[in-house]
Amino acid sequence: MTKQLTPLIFLLIGSFHSINAQWSIRGNKTDKNARWNHIQFFSEEEWDASNFSSEKDMQWFNDARYGMFIHFGLSTYIKKDLSWGMCYTRKAPDKGHGPIADSVWVTYPEHFKFENFDAKQWVKIAKDAGMKYIVTIAKHHDGFHMWDTKYSDFKVTNTPFGRDYLKEIADACHEADMKFGVYYSQRDWYHPDYAPIHNLGCPSKRSPLLPC
């Protein structure tokens, strides 16, 4: 029992931590939500033409209620809040644990070993706990890809771990008939074109490849 509870505790920690994410909203910007710089607005036509989840799928998600969100990535290895840590040359929207230099952040893949990872064990823990779905990070704001993408070298298969984490989780979920989803951040601090909508203190484009 102890061997199963320990990883479960670590997997669930992310569920209780407040995070800054981004939201997609159908309709016009209002005074109530205009202050948030994480929101992307869509017209009714744009929304209907998108590939967002259907109303039926969203209703299933609301009814399922209990699932596992695995917030796991490079920040796991620095023992600090991911927050807006790579915004080293600009004033961060939230203070978190302070800025982390880009030159430091991009070295963290060297520490990504993850020797005891067992996707099937994680899925079993979720099923045994009565969970209805698993969602995991595919790419967070730091731009680190948790799968073997062809479009970036900043990815999990270029680490000592060397395996496709996302594929292994997806395959284990499908094998166990567990609903599976991914969190994918459109914002990408590693991309040269990255710039926040309401940038505080740095009007130019920046990233580890293109500093302010």
pLDDT per residue as tens digits for the range 156-191 = 999 999 999 999 999 999 999 999 999 998 777 777
Eight-state DSSP code of residue 148: -
Q: What is the DSSP letter of 80?
A: S
If one compares 70 and 82, the residue with the highest pLDDT of the two is 70
Domain contains 77: yes
Report pLDDT digits (tens) over 32-61: 555 555 567 788 888 888 877 788 988 999
Mean pLDDT over the full length of the chain: 75
Q: Whose CA is closest to 11, among 198, 147, 136?
A: 136
pTM beyond 0.75, yes or no: no
Q: Which residue has the higher pLDDT, 178 or 13?
A: 178
Using the 8-state DSSP alphabet, how is residue 186 labeled?
Answer: S
More confident residue, 92 or 82: 82
For position 164, which CATH number holds?
A: 3.20.20.80
Confidence of residue 194 (pLDDT cuts 50, 70, 90): low
Q: Tell me the Ramachandran region of residue 137: left when phi exceeds 0, alpha when psi lies from -120 to 50, beta otherwise.
A: beta
Report helix angle 2-13 to 119-128, nearest 10. 90
More confident residue, 15 or 57: 57
Which range marks the domain in which residue 131 is found? Answer: 2-21+54-184
More confident residue, 22 or 212: 22
Is 34 contained in some domain? no
Under 8 Å between Cβ of 99 and 25: no
Residue 165 DSSP one-character state: H
Residue 47 lies in a domain: no
Give the per-residue pLDDT at 90.
47
Total domain count for the chain?
1
pLDDT band at 118 (very low <50, low <70, confident <90, very high): very high
Instruction: Tell me what pLDDT residue 30 has.
Output: 61
By mean pLDDT, which of 9-23, 52-66, 104-118 is the weakest? 9-23
Decide if 162 is inside a domain: yes
Within a domain: 40: no
d(CA 148, CA 157): 6
Q: Is residue 201 part of a domain?
A: no
Determine how many CB atoms are found less than 10 A away from the CB of residue 183. 16
Of 56-70, 100-114, 143-157, the least confident: 100-114
Long-range contacts of 174-179 (CB under 8 A, 24+ apart): 175/120, 175/123, 176/120, 176/123, 176/124, 176/127, 178/123, 178/126, 178/127, 178/131, 178/133, 178/134, 179/64, 179/67, 179/132, 179/133, 179/134
